[in-house]
Amino acid sequence: MQVLVGMSGGVDSSVAAAMLRDEGHEVVGVTLKLWGGESDSGCCSVSDVDDARRVAQQLGLEHLVFNFGEDFDEHVVNPYVADHAKGLTPNPCIECNRHLKFDRLLTRARALGFDAVATGHHALVRPVGPGGALRICRGVDDLKDQSYVLHMLTAQQLAQVLLPIGSLTKDEVRSRAMALGLRTAGKPDSQDVCFISHVGGGRRSFLSDRIPLHPARVVDKSGVDVGEVDAVELVTVGQRRGLGVVIDGRPRYAIDVDVDARLVVVGEPEDLDVTGQSLSGFTWVDEEARLHALSTPSVTVQTSAHGEPIAVATLACEADNSAVVQIEWTAPRHRVARGQSAVVYDGDVVLGGGIVS
């Protein structure tokens, strides 16, 4: 099989490429040039591209670089900025997977005659159920599982996706890299948004260069002023730090953010509780997954990359529109900030996911 392996310059994708080579596939490595601005983290820095190229050399693989910078700006960076301007809390890594790594890259791979695209994500692609439908499933390493950020993949896409390291723990990945003498064996994992630099003010500086940041009043539930913030666009529902609001010895949390009104409402933790939430832009793996989710009482929802699965009381599509899903929780729980993703699972199997609206 001819496989195009996305090599980010990290240890996971390095070992993924080595595993596929050792299995006898015709492997070519590719690094995506996504961000043309300043970067010192993630998979966009110059050093990461160099690491990927050198690992490919160590493994005896051809290495390509695809410049998808315009697509990255259009589908990831610009929406990230626009969401903050609207008071949302976006997840750019999910949008990068959706539009770049498993859309643009897959399309390019098909055009070049490759049979599959592989990455170093900690997740599994495996057949599930009597019909053997392909599904994204949790990787064996619970602490590193990345199935949540791959929830948008459809069954059609999964037919051309390989995730070799999903069956390994992180320690096993590093051990294999060390045994192969790969330069990335001890490289730390990336934890941050790749296009935002650690130096020079981070997210605040990045956004202030692109949109105006506005001060806002901070009020309690009665509308009484209790403070102020200097950038309402940077406040997230559920946030406590940075608000500086303590009443009766107890900190207060942001329970509502209104960018247009320049207003942040704060309350106690229980004021964040809701009985359900609505998801838009919902992507189901396939129609079978949708029907299964709507008829199976055991499905759970995960609302962050490494959050605990949450039991749901009901899951329903809105007026025959499968892209809008309403979740009702079994008990009130803290609301998820608008713009974040919620992913539906049956056990370890991903059925689909959408954006909290």
Maximum alpha-carbon separation in the chain = 68
The active-site residue out of 93, 96, 137, 317 is 96
- Who's near 52: CB < 8 A, 6+ residues apart? 7, 8, 9, 13, 14, 29, 31, 63
- Who's near 228: CB < 8 A, 6+ residues apart? 215, 216, 217, 218
Read off φ and ψ for residue 130, nearest 5 degrees.
Answer: -60, -35
Residue 317 annotated among the catalytic residues of the structure: no
Instruction: Give the count of beta carbons closer than 10 Å to the beta carbon of residue 214.
Output: 14
Contact 303, 310 (CB under 8 A): yes
Contact 153, 136 (CB under 8 A): yes
Contact 219, 263 (CB under 8 A): yes
Residue 93 annotated among the catalytic residues of the structure: no
The active-site residue out of 43, 44, 137, 194 is 194
Instruction: Give the count of beta carbons closer than 10 Å to the beta carbon of residue 238.
Output: 17
Active site residues: 96, 194
